[in-house]
Structure 1
Amino acid sequence: MDYREHLRQPLSKRFVDILATEIFLNPADFDIVYRLIYDEDIAVAWRAAWACQKISEKHPEWFSERHFEELSTLAIATSHGGLLRGCLSVINNIALPECLSVEFINACFDWMISPKSPIAVQALSMKILLRICRKEPEFKQELSVVLENIDFENYSAGFKSVRKNILKALNGK
């Protein structure tokens, strides 16, 4: 399969599922699709990220610490909402590295509280930060304080729901 050409076509969930299934059947091709996240054609890049999200749901072990670092760097650098969402979705599914970038943690806080961030990006940022808190408990208080003190009335119902669930998880309820 010519993965790049496949990703150049307007995609639906069905087409992404077909591509992910192809990778499950041919794991050696995983890196080909992963590398397409960096394609100069932004449509190919964000669709590749979407495919990698599907792959990471079934095979998170295929993603290494190097992948985490690359995806977090790309997430910080991109201005494309779909690519950012795809990167964060993969990051949310894979193992956290031993050493986390402070720049990435700060970016997650920024995406989480920015009313300009799409709800999916806000929610994924909260979920990733919760995972970081479980690994690095010293961040728990900071995340809790930010979520408790945010003027959440200006945010969507989706944001409020995820916020509530994250606070419950942080407080052990």
Structure 2
Amino acid sequence: MNIAEVFRRLPGRYQLEELLLFLSLHPEYWPEVFGQVAGNDDPKAAFRALWACEKVSQRWPGWWTGEQREQIRQLVLHSTHTGMLRLGISILNSLPLAAEPDVELINRLYDLMMQASTPPGVQAQAMRLLYALVKDNNDLLYEFWLVLDEAADDFDSPAFRAARKNLLKRKR
């Protein structure tokens, strides 16, 4: 199976489900699928590969290696493509978290969450991952609640308000 060709032609969700069914039967193709994220010259194909990786992270998080997780972390830290950011953050949300707080990632997520130019879907994903990263550290969690309280009136998108409201339920 030519994985690169699959991502050049992947037209939609149903074909992605077929690919995931194939992967469930042939997990040995997973490294090749992941390799298409950075190794594909076609930006659309790379985006589709990342989309498939997001679904794999939700269904089979145990397939991910530390190196693959680090590559997604680097994508979140440095990418300017908002679709890739949203998918990268979603992947990190699905995978087990590191024991120590990742300060560089936390700062990037704060930036994404608080920038008005960031699309609401990316802001909401960043908010969820940020909470997951800081919830076990009282100092970082306190700062998170302060920032979230301050952001109450700054953003009016439904995605931001809903994510904020759902996280504030956990505070009480």
**Superimposed CA distance per residue, residues 101-141 of structure 1 (whole angstroms, 9 cap, x where no aligned partner):** 32211111111111211122111111101111234333111
Deviation (angstroms), 1:100 = 4.1
**Superimposed CA distance per residue, residues 7-44 of structure 1 (whole angstroms, 9 cap, x where no aligned partner):** 11253111221112211111111111111110232111
Within 5 Å, give how 1:61-76 maps onto structure 2.
Answer: 61-76=62-77
Q: TM-score, with normalisation over the residues of structure 1? A: 0.91
Where does residue 101 of structure 1 map in the other structure? 102
Where does residue 12 of structure 2 map in the other structure? 12
Where does residue 84 of structure 2 map in the other structure? 83
Q: Which amino acid letter does the alignment assign opposite residue 8 of structure 2?
A: R
8 A contact 2:76–2:88 mirrored in 1:
yes
| SS of residue matched to 2:135 | helix
In structure 2, relative to structure 1, the CA distance for the partners of 1:45 and 1:168 (3 Å cut) is same
Deviation (angstroms), 1:151 = 4.5
Q: TM-score, with normalisation over the residues of structure 2? A: 0.91
How many angstroms apart in 1 are the aligned matches of 2:23 and 2:138?
36
User: Are positions 1:147 and 2:151 aligned together?
Assistant: no
Return 5+ residue gaps in structure 1 as ranges: none
In structure 2, relative to structure 1, the CA distance for the partners of 1:136 and 1:69 (3 Å cut) is farther
In structure 2, relative to structure 1, the CA distance for the partners of 1:160 and 1:37 (3 Å cut) is same
Structure 1 runs of 4+ aligned residues shifted over 6 Å read: none
Q: Which amino acid letter does the alignment assign opposite residue 46 of structure 1?
A: F
**Superimposed CA distance per residue, residues 76-115 of structure 1 (whole angstroms, 9 cap, x where no aligned partner):** 2212122111111111100112344322111111111112
8 A contact 1:49–1:83 mirrored in 2:
yes
Deviation (angstroms), 1:49 = 0.8
Q: Percent identity?
A: 29
How many corresponding residue pairs? 171
Return 5+ residue gaps in structure 2 as ranges: none
How many angstroms apart in 2 are the aligned matches of 1:105 and 1:64?
21
**Superimposed CA distance per residue, residues 129-162 of structure 1 (whole angstroms, 9 cap, x where no aligned partner):** 1111234333111110111001535330121011
8 A contact 2:10–2:48 mirrored in 1:
no
8 A contact 1:68–1:96 mirrored in 2:
no
8 A contact 2:101–2:134 mirrored in 1:
no
How many angstroms apart in 2 are the aligned matches of 1:9 and 1:100?
39
How many angstroms apart in 2 are the aligned matches of 1:9 and 1:128?
31
Greater mean deviation of Cα atoms: 146-155 or 84-93: 146-155
